[in-house]
Amino acid sequence: MINQAEEDPMAQVTVAAEDLYHIRDTYFPLNPDEKISKLQAESVIALKLLDSVPPDQRRSSIQRATYEYLRGKILDVFPDYRKEAEDHLSKAVKLNPSLADAWLCLGNCIWKKGDLSSAKNCFTLALSKGRNKRILCQLSMLERRMTQGTENEVELVEESIQHAREAITLDVKDGNSWYNLGNACLTSFFVTGSWDHSKLLQSLKAYQNAEKDERMKFNPDLYFNCATVNKYLENYERALSGFEAAALKDPGLNAAEEVQKMVNLLNKLENLLKVHARAKRLASSVSALADVNLNSSYRRATIDLLLEGPNKAVAVVGKVLLFIKHENVAPLCYLVCDSNQICFVLSVYGVRHDAIKEGDQLTLLEPCYRYVDFSWKGKRYNFKSIRVDFLEQFLVNGKALSACQAVRTSIYAQHKP
């Protein structure tokens, strides 16, 4: 039996255009110029195929709209803005305003030249023709892009999350929709300034659902962004594995550099902990910690008594021995010692770098504890760690920090725009 693509020239071009975009989304050579060359060669073939469509199949407005749409889509496969592509896509939507895919392509094309509000109008018009998971995902992604440098960041990110969730309701097994939701939740983690742990966990769950879709194994950004979440959750081994996988799939990502930065930090933490564990001056440094008064609603504990995860109604008092410089924007890392002279790593999120200084006495309220113990490339890492996400979780020299000490970090999900 002859299938539709074999007997319908326009259907053949549609398949050729889809193949072209498959190359765009899955082919990542060591030299990025090779990808552009491949796209150029394949687009020439696709355009020749389009030009071979008989004139009698381009007469009606619907047929001409499809022709203009396919020409614009093929021309727009490249990362840079092309006016010729926009012109053809604009003709397509004028000839057939109900052609949702043309509105989607036009929105993507206009986005490339930086006209974000017009791009959003295209996606909104496309959705008015009917709910569509691909258009909802693009709108969600655009809304995240629009947050940067605006005053209504939180509102736009919330819209992005809602559109991402709506796309999933249309196809709960679609990996790209889950991936998009993961990106939206990860963006929310950063732009809200709250450094809300739950957003990271929601993001991780979405990425895990995305991975169930076989088609997503070609997406290096999924591995990169999932590794980013694991990095901020301090799941070091999973983060390292994820960045390594992303680097193998797309050498153009800076995933290999992320691996090296993490390994550099872990090596630094290990070395500092070993040095300070043997330091004779620890006893005098921490002698006053046992006398620090605590609110009666908290029970005093040392780090060796903590349980994995949050420790409710518990407080740990420690002294900052060292600010640990490293290559990432967040978290701020400190070497801290408790009253039993046990050293541990303190990771602090969403706080100004000058809020905590070496020599400060810290009271950590309901500390979130983790014992890190794993091996990477033949080297074992094991140390005690506490993370702080909110100003309210600690006191500095017996005093709460003011709201002006909070800070937001300009990091956005979606490794590539």
- Do 225 and 295 lie in one domain? The reply is no
Specify the pLDDT at position 391: 85
- Residues 6 or more apart whose CB falls under 8 angstroms from that of 181 comprise 140, 161, 164, 165, 167, 168, 203, 206
pLDDT of residue 286: 78
Confidence at residue 189, expressed as pLDDT on a 0 to 100 scale: 85
CATH number for position 315:
2.40.50.550
pLDDT of residue 408: 64
Q: What are the backbone dihedrals phi and psi of residue 325, each rounded to the nearest 5 degrees, phi first?
A: -75, 140
CA dihedral 345, 351, 356, 361 (to 10 degrees): -70
User: Is 73 in contact with 41 (CB distance < 8 Å)?
Assistant: no
| pLDDT (0 to 100) of residue 193 | 60
Domain containing 94: what range? 4-261
Q: What is the mean pLDDT of the chain?
A: 91
Question: Which residues, including other chains, have CB under 8 Å from residue 219's CB and lie 6 or more apart?
Answer: 25, 26, 175, 176, 179, 249
pLDDT score of 317: 95
Type of residue found at 74 = I
Same domain, 184 and 45: yes
- Within 13 Å of residue 164, how many CA atoms lie on the same side as its CB? 30
pLDDT for the residue 1: 40
Helices 32-51 and 9-26 pack at an angle, to 10 degrees, of 170
Residues 45 and 108 both lie in one domain:
yes
Boundary residue ending a domain (261, 279, 312): 261
pLDDT at 365: 95
Q: What pLDDT is attached to residue 231?
A: 93
Percent pLDDT > 70 in the chain is 94
Q: Which of 229, 261, 293 is the last residue of a domain?
A: 261
Based on the domain organization, do 251 and 316 belong to the same domain? Answer: no
Q: How many domains does the chain have?
A: 2
Residues 228 and 283 in one domain: no
Low-confidence ranges of the chain (pLDDT < 70): 1-7, 192-195, 279-280, 408-417
> Could you identify the residue written with the tokens 């290990």?
270
The answer to whether position 82 is within a domain reads yes
> Which of these three, 230, 261, 292, is where a domain ends?
261
Q: Is residue 415 part of a domain?
A: no
Does residue 114 come out as left (phi exceeding 0), alpha (psi in the -120 to 50 range) or beta?
Answer: left
Alpha-helix runs per DSSP H in 192-344: 197-211, 220-232, 236-249, 255-277, 282-286
